[in-house]
Amino acid sequence: MSKWYRIKPDVEYSTDINFFYKNQIGVACRESKYYFYSLLEGVTFKLKSNVFGDRTLSDGKIREICVEIHSEILEGKYGVGELVE
């Protein structure tokens, strides 16, 4: 059974990184700038992408950043939550 990390009544993230990466976090690139489809991930990514500037990121680097964002979510950095099933 999947476990979810609920931050707010209507915001839940899967604890499974593969599910999170494939289904819950979306990224797009336009003119060498990266955007996430969610405000939380977008703000977090902008903070992290300042390190990289406007250069093109590899798929592996994007996944690495997504894994880091996922870890921070589960650690409660963006709001204290609870595990739910």
Mean pLDDT on 10-35: 84
Range of the domain at 56: 4-84
pLDDT of residue 17: 93
pLDDT of residue 35: 72
- Average predicted confidence (pLDDT) for the chain: 79
pLDDT at 18 over 90: yes
Q: How far apart are CA 12 and CA 10, in angstroms?
A: 7
The torsion angles phi and psi of 31, rounded to 5 degrees, stand at: 50, 50
pLDDT at 71 over 70: yes
Q: How far apart are CA 79 and CA 40, in angstroms?
A: 10
pLDDT digits (tens, 9 = 90+) for 28-60: 777 777 777 766 666 666 655 555 555 677 888
Q: How many domains does the chain have?
A: 1
What is the residue whose two structure tokens read 């996922």?
70
Per the rule left: phi > 0, alpha: psi between -120 and 50, beta: everything else, 32 is: left
